[in-house]
Structure 1
Amino acid sequence: MRSFCVGLLRAMACLSLVASSLNAGHAEPREDRSELSPDVERLEVIAQPWLHDWLWLPEWIRLSFNYTNEIDANPSGGNQQTGTYTHNVAINSAFSSGFGKEASEWQEIDHWTLNITASQRSGTSLSQKIPNEIAVEQIYGYGQTFRLAGLWLERNQAEDGLLKMKFGKFATFDDFASSPLYCFYTNNGFCGQNWGIPNSLPVMAYPANQYGFVFFLGEVDGPHLRSGTYQINPDGAEPAFHGADFQIRDSDGLAQFVQLNVPFGSGKPQAARRLEDGSVVLVSEDELEVDSVSGLPQPVLQPGGWIGNWQFPLVNGSGKTS
């Protein structure tokens, strides 16, 4: 039976300490024309340090709170017509002596950040009620409960070379086969990550985690190579562990991911001007009135691949593994 479902609402609210995402590490240097032309207005939507001001936190702490909900319904088709609500509450924290310092002033200790993230999920799945194969709500999964989403050390630098190195407990798709663009959708066929990979290889997506080691090597504003090695431990996603399964078993496997990121297009501020109706349009440099910074990520090509070593079930239904 065919069914038609619709996402009625996806709402997000965020209180953050910093302008850049915690997952991105330290900010990278970029051209800033407004410094050369102080009279030019700059349009850029950035998070504000409200929690830092309210809680009087020291400079070396970064803290953010994020609430996302999805309300979906299937007005026709399926076994029943109904609607559901689900949400994810994220608490992200990071600790580094480099916060608040210019990258040119960093000592080695300032490059390092300790990240701790947590998640609380509640709600019901519309896909279990229709039912259908790919989850309608991306933020439903791994058990609707509180869990440790990640615990890792990360090193960042703002010059070409070893751009990032991280190790600890985190999700594979924090760094591979993913894009910020995906989460403009709610359906898990699009949102979060390329879903064909976790269907074939049991590595974790947020808010589950496994042991991993990742590094980025290349140019700050150009191509870079990503490599990641991960524990294969499907049991670690069980809700009973609440994300805190630190065991390493003989039955665990190993997964290796490699990805080349090749950005194209400009991620720098663009020349724009404001029309009489208040709208802003892009213009040539000689017509510059406003510096506009897009809220969308820079377009990037991401070729890559993975290999896994584990006891994979054979597809012939025999119950055997290989």
Structure 2
Amino acid sequence: MTLTELRYIVALAQERSFSRAAERCSVSQPTLSVAIARLEDELGVQLFERGKGFVSPSAVGVRVVEQAQQALKEADKVRQIAMVGRDQLDGPLRLGVIHTIGPYLLPQLIQSLKQVAPHMPLAIEENMTSNLAEMLRENEVDVVIIALPFDIPGVLTRPIYDESFKVIVPRGHGWENKARIAPEEVAGDEVLLLKAGNCFRDQVLGACPQVSSPETDVRLGHSIGTIRCMVASGLGVSVLPDGALRHPYSNDLISVIPFTEPEPSRRIALAWRTGFVRPKAMDALVAAVQGLNNPAYRLIH
């Protein structure tokens, strides 16, 4: 059974004439007659009553034709969806992003993306790196924004920017007037970190090895925003990404101090499946990132 055969029986049921049905379907009358006879043989029922000078659907033929009409309508919907899908920049892009990036990058990225691809809104999933990796593998998101390294079989990555780490201390702290702080100095005070399982926590521990020393009293926060408030309250010091400390996230109750060169930093990248069918959507997302104007993000061209 083919869609062509279904079109033939619908045309014949409506025209009540083999010649007119064949003309309507732009085929010869023998071609149409043979196709319909073949379909009747396949189904094991006679769809049309034939007589001299007339043709009419049988009782079962009427029902089959009605169902054929529905099938043709659904097939046309499939065709329309596929036509829309030819425009890779039309329709939502499912974007996953880690917690330490989402609130700070997305407001600017969404605005920039509207200029590049106005008909491609972002359906956003904010989650931890491990969860986003699984969602990417299971086709629950199209692309993720994560910190490297992110090595997963079947996944491509594209670095988009580097972001420095900064030390934050409460106003009046002994480090407040320091021009720069060496990574090994971040110890001995009450250091605030994100809870375990967050990749940024691991990056901070890698950049400031003394943080995990037995002498350091580490306190934990659930989010960057919480840690920023804890520091402002005088509960300790912390290390945060530069993008989370710029306007409108700056705070008069904290001081931001850069590290000594070379500053610890993280490299942020896009990651997507190798078989992703909307490469132009990826190009648009990259272009939107390149259009950002934020000194916290050192763009990689």
Report the TM-score range of the alignment, normalised by the length of the smaller protein. Answer: under 0.3
**Higher share of residues assigned helix:** 2
Structure ranking higher on relative contact order (CA contacts 8 Å, 6+ apart)? 2
TM-score (norm 2): 0.22
**Higher share of residues assigned strand:** 1
TM-score (norm 1): 0.21
- Flag the structure with larger Rg: 2
